[in-house]
Amino acid sequence: MFGSYTIKDIAKALGLSTSTVSRALNGSYEIGAETKKLVLEYAEKVNYRPNPIALSLKEQKSHSIGVVVCEVANNYFSQAINGIESIAYNSGYHVIITQTHESAAREATNVQHLLSRHVDGLLVSLSASTTDLAPYQYLHDKGFPIVFFDRVAEQVNTHKITANNFKGAFEATEHLINTGHTKIAHITNSKNLLISVERVAGYKAALEKYNIPFLPEYIKHCDHGGMILDEVEMAVHELLNLPERPDALISTSDRLTTTCLPVIRKMGLKIPNDLAMAGFTNSDVAESFNPPLTVVRQPAFQMGQLATELLIKTIESKHPIYEYSNQQVDTELIIRESSLK
């Protein structure tokens, strides 16, 4: 994820001191034109890039926080960002927001960019395609403050804020069962994400409680989390063309929920007559959908606030922190017409 050539490597190769190489790269007037040319040409040859981690780990505070989310236009994340900003600005910190659009490569680039801007810490919600957590582990090991929220890195032992995803999915599934549905499909995010694992587990537990057999073909993973319409269309079509067609559907992310609805309508199906539906979404207009949508709502604003409070506490701590909190906040099931027969 981060460049491998260092100033030390260049200095060794050219027989120069690291300070001479550093000054040459920074265009210092103290360094002769010939030496400067030599250093710059060699740096270009080996594709040298300043190490953003090394830069950000210097003892200088920028009073800014980097935020990494999949997209700002997502109802959940826009509310979480409002929570982040409410705490950050009142504590004298600026917020720099970056979007990954569910791409691990873009996430890596965004993190590098934020580090090169000397942010004092990172608030991270992982992209659907992120599997390599080593760079975050490296930063954490170096004492760089990171707090994960919503989509967390299980292996990295730092502060985490999550919703009770298991309970949210369990309650939505149980509600659909209690309204007379037994063939319940589940459309969810990438298998890489812990939120997907927890929500699938909640769904399965509810089926088990009511002795309804779990059918693997009733689960669809969308690896781009609803960002690619074709992927969602294919998943919904596959589910609704099964020989034993589902009579209900749970979609377990904000983007998936708002993308599934028009796809179902396009297929000529009516909610809830042909297909009952419940979805994870923080959309403020879910009540205005036709029919009004049953939702699992996450306390996004509060989660953003809690994550920011923990990050600022970590940034401003006078001593190294070895105890980390893993806070879980409750979801809320709001029942509306889309899931009622």
pLDDT at residue number 2: 47
Which residues neighbour 164 within 8 Å (Cβ) at sequence distance 6 or greater?
Answer: 328, 329, 330, 331
Whole-structure pTM value:
0.81
CA atoms of 42 and 26, how far apart (whole Å): 14
The three-class DSSP label of residue 272 is coil
Q: Helix %, strand %, coil % for the chain, to 5?
A: 45, 15, 40
Dihedrals φ, ψ of 123, to 5°?
-110, 120
pLDDT at 51: 65
Q: What is the pLDDT of residue 82?
A: 96
Written as six digits, the tokens of 214 are 């779990």
> How far apart are alpha carbons 335 and 113 in whole angstroms?
42
Tens of each residue's pLDDT in the chain, 341 residues: 445 678 888 889 899 988 888 888 777 777 888 888 888 888 888 877 766 555 555 556 788 999 999 999 889 999 999 999 999 998 999 999 999 999 999 999 999 999 988 899 999 999 999 999 999 999 999 999 999 999 999 999 999 999 999 999 999 999 999 999 999 999 999 999 999 999 999 999 999 999 999 999 999 999 888 888 899 999 999 999 999 999 999 999 888 998 999 999 999 999 999 999 999 999 888 888 889 999 999 999 999 999 999 999 999 988 888 889 999 999 999 999 999 97
Query: For residues 113 and 276, is the Cβ–Cβ distance under 8 A?
Result: no
pLDDT (0 to 100) of residue 57: 54
Measured from the Cβ of residue 66, the count of other Cβ atoms closer than 10 Å reads 25
> Which structure tokens are listed for 293?
């949508």
Amino acid at 75: N
Residue linked to tokens 């060699």: 42
CA–CA separation, 196 vs 204, rounded Å? 12
